[in-house]
Amino acid sequence: MSALPVVAQQAAPPAPAAISTELQACMKVSDNTARLACYDRQMNGQAMLALPASPIAAQAETAQPGAPAQVVVAPPGSMPPTGDTPPDEGFLSRFWELSPADKRGTFNYTAYRPNFFLPLRGMRKVNQHPSSPSRGVANSLPNFQHLETKLQISLRTKVFEDVLLPNADLWVAYTQQSTWQTWNNEESSPFRNTDYQPELIYMVPMPSGMQHLPFGWKWRLTSVGLVHQSNGQSDKLSRSWNRAYASFGVERGGLNANLRVEAPLAKSNDKYDDNPDIERYLGNVQAQVNWSPGRSIASLTWRPSLSGRGSVELNWSYPVNAEHPDGLRWYVQAFHGYGETLLDYNFRQTSLGAGFTIFKF
């Protein structure tokens, strides 16, 4: 689920006013190559465009107690910070570029959901006979093991800025999640399932007059979106569904929450629907709470269901090197319920995986 680029200091930083004047001078250079060289000179060749790895990992860029001060600079082509720049509005604003000071332009690819590699993921039981009302039961599957690998890659980019409403942006995103029988040498280590999820997101920042909520919470954003999810398989293993959603993001210090309400886009005939009863298992609501106590980052996601099914997922990460909280991180994920993968949407699963974040953009 970003901040303006952060420059790690190895020497005393220039005064903010000087940085502003020098970068403004660079903006007046018309030649792209010369302008970029100007930015490099002003920052002594130390500038790095650091984007958060996910809405959760964005919190890792918050200065830790005892850490040196950081200089925040604007990327080439955008307005540098000045004395008139409003104070930081929180990582939700940085991640989704909700304020003019956070805008980075279009087609800057960065991460969306966490990108992770869990080489060890243990399952309480394995779905050896996946089924759905419209596809029947699949019986001729490899002998899957309880220990496998799980990995996820998730990217996004903004395609339009300031669309229809003030500071509202249109984003596209793509997430791919795979479960891989890495340790199953007897079956040639097959991929058990891969889910593909393209998404269209219209992100609207809330006006300052509407942000304030009780107990110090702030309503930062509202978004609407369209999402397709499928596993790309055929016949009895095929699973897919399309849905529209509206979500609402709130924040208070190092704690933020998101409520998402979904509306499936029904097909004309259930016999063409790979999983017509998926709502009974996954429901139409998702609530997520993210917490950043120090260098740790924790996320709890709950999908309730009126049928008594649903799911709960807990994610936790911590930097491998505590001095670099935005670098490589340990990653642990626990899941219980239905729908960890589309193939298992109606199969109750309990799993625990451990590994690393893969990369960030």
Strand partners, 2: none
Query: In Å, how far from its chain's centre is CA 40?
Result: 30
Please give the pLDDT value at position 335: 98
pLDDT tens string 303-341:
998 888 999 999 999 999 988 888 899 999 999 999 999
Structure tokens given for 314: 């807990």
- Active-site annotation holds for 178: no
Please give the pLDDT value at position 41: 67
- Measure the CA–CA gap between 176 and 304, rounded to whole angstroms: 23
What 3-state class would DSSP assign to 233?
Answer: coil
Please give the pLDDT value at position 81: 37
- Measure the CA–CA gap between 98 and 102, rounded to whole angstroms: 7
- Active-site annotation holds for 228: yes
Of 78, 131, 189, 228, the catalytic one is 228
Please give the pLDDT value at position 77: 32
Phi, psi of 115 (to 5 degrees): -105, 115
First-to-last alpha carbon distance for the chain, in angstroms, is 13
Mean per-residue pLDDT pooled into runs of 10, the chain (361 residues): 37 44 70 70 48 48 42 33 47 90 92 96 95 90 95 97 95 97 94 97 95 94 97 91 96 93 80 86 95 90 90 96 88 97 96 90 51
What does the angle CA 50 – CA 52 – CA 55 come to, to the nearest 5 degrees?
165
Of 134, 230, 296, 336, the catalytic one is 230
Is residue 185 classed exposed, middle or buried when 0-12, 13-18 and 19+ CB atoms within 10 A define those classes?
Answer: exposed
